[in-house]
């Protein structure tokens, strides 16, 4: 299985996917076509156009899944899939509505490279229960692709002790998740990325991550760390 999971498609001070371009080029290798899943945003065509124009600079052609005459066949024939960011609930609900979640899961297991950003990264975990997004629509289930045996929290933000904001910090939200759910949660800071190549899992990018396990203190993960053990919970 091959995964590249990006915390955020945009990092402060850079353009769309700029910070991830080198990693994308290395991950995709000779791939020159990919299937884009735009369902995390409302305007599927505009979103696909944005991705198509950006990846054209990398000599990669993009097909939007929303426009495919036969979506199941488009997924089955894809060598690489990119699931973009936006609202994770919308993304999962639309994949469920179109009955495409199982086909996407099967295609990645069969060898297609999977790139996710933000919501698309959330989708790779066991459930979307640790997304930061509001449930503006409600999927039939929170079960996601299960390409990893844990959950993800892209855009992970550390609590600032100097802040006067009285809302719950991200760490507390994840602790609340663990009151009801057993799986580990990996909080990916911006601009961190997670890359899986078979049984090898590595944290990439310039930022670290935090690993949360039920009943344990959070663990700091440095950029470049090997996380293979997380694939064997």
Q: What is the pLDDT of residues 31-57, one digit of tens each?
A: 999 999 999 999 999 999 999 999 999
Q: What is the pLDDT of residues 206-222, one digit of tens each?
A: 999 999 999 999 999 99
pLDDT at 167 over 90: no
- Active-site positions? 118, 133, 155
Q: Of 13, 55, 25, 23, give the one whose Cα is nearest residue 192.
A: 23
* Distance between CA atoms of residues 34 and 18, nearest Å: 18
- The Cα-based distances of 19 to 69, 161, 219 in angstroms read 33, 28, 25
Quick one: which H or E segment has residue 2?
strand 2-6
| Per-chain mean pLDDT for the chain | 96
Can you say how many angstroms the Cα of residue 11 is from the centroid of all Cα atoms in its chain? 15
The DSSP result for 35-61, as a single string, is EEE-TTSS-HHHHHHHHHHHHHTTT-E
Predicted pLDDT of residue 162: 78
Q: What is the mean pLDDT of residues 185-191?
A: 97
* Distance between CA atoms of residues 83 and 114, nearest Å: 8
Predicted pLDDT of residue 164: 74
Predicted pLDDT of residue 166: 65
* Distance between CA atoms of residues 221 and 208, nearest Å: 6
pLDDT at 112 over 80: yes
Q: Of 153, 156, 146, give the one whose Cα is nearest residue 131.
A: 153
Quick one: which H or E segment has residue 76?
helix 71-76
* Distance between CA atoms of residues 106 and 100, nearest Å: 10
Q: Which residues, at least 6 apart from 111, have a Cβ–Cβ distance to it below 8 Å? A: 2
Q: Of 185, 113, 189, 112, give the one whose Cα is nearest residue 156.
A: 189
């Amino acid at each position: 299985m091959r995964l590249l999971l990006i915390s955020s498609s945009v990092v402060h001070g850079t353009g769309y996917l700029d910070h991830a371009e080198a990693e994308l080029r290395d991950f995709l290798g000779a791939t020159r076509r990919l299937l884009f899943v735009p369902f995390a945003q409302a305007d599927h065509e505009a979103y696909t156009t944005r991705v198509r124009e950006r990846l054209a600079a990398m000599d990669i052609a993009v097909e939007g899944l929303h426009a495919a005459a036969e979506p199941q066949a488009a997924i089955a024939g894809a060598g690489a899939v990119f699931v973009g960011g936006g609202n994770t609930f919308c993304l999962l609900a639309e994949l469920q509505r179109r009955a495409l979640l199982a086909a996407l899961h099967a295609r990645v297991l069969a060898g297609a490279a999977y790139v996710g950003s933000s919501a698309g990264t959330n989708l790779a975990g066991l459930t979307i229960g640790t997304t930061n997004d509001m449930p503006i629509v409600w999927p039939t289930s929170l079960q996601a692709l299960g390409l990893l045996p844990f959950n993800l929290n892209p855009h992970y933000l550390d609590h600032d002790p100097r802040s006067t904001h009285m809302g719950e910090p991200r760490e507390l939200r994840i602790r609340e998740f663990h009151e009801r759910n057993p799986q580990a949660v990996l909080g990916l800071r911006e601009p961190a990325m997670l890359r899986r190549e078979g049984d090898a899992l590595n944290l990439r990018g310039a930022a670290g991550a935090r690993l949360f396990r039920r009943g344990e203190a959070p663990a700091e993960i440095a950029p470049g760390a090997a996380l293979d053990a997380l694939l064997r919970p």
